[in-house]
């Protein structure tokens, strides 16, 4: 999970935690969400395409990534 949070922080250019969301991180928009998904994919962590529109927080990213890993 920490690796996912590190990747999200790098893409957003700011430190985030599992409790961070699009509502409280400046600049986190739909484009950044796609960049997060692409960065995670490059790191070997996939998120299903149908879940991308549901991402509203770091917790969502972690949850969807874990579901895909099963």
pLDDT, position 40: 96
What's the confidence (pLDDT) of residue 70?
Answer: 56
CATH of the domain at 18: 1.10.1200.10
Q: What is the pLDDT of residue 66?
A: 82
- Per-residue model confidence as pLDDT tens digits over 18-66: 999 999 999 999 999 999 999 999 999 999 999 999 999 999 999 999 8
Q: Torsions phi, psi of 43, nearest 5?
A: -90, 5
Q: 28 with 22: CB under 8 angstroms?
A: yes
More confident residue, 69 or 3: 3
What is the total count of domains within the chain? Answer: 1
Over its C-alpha atoms, the chain yields an Rg (Å, rounded) of: 11
> How much is the pTM?
0.92
Q: Domain of 46?
A: 2-69
């Amino acid at each position: 999970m920490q690796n996912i949070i590190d990747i999200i922080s790098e893409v957003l250019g700011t430190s985030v935690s599992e409790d961070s969301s699009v509502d409280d991180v400046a600049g986190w928009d739909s484009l950044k969400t796609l960049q997060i998904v692409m960065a995670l994919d490059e790191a070997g962590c996939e998120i299903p395409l149908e879940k991308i529109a549901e991402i509203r927080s770091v917790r969502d990213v972690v949850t969807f990534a874990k579901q895909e890993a099963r």
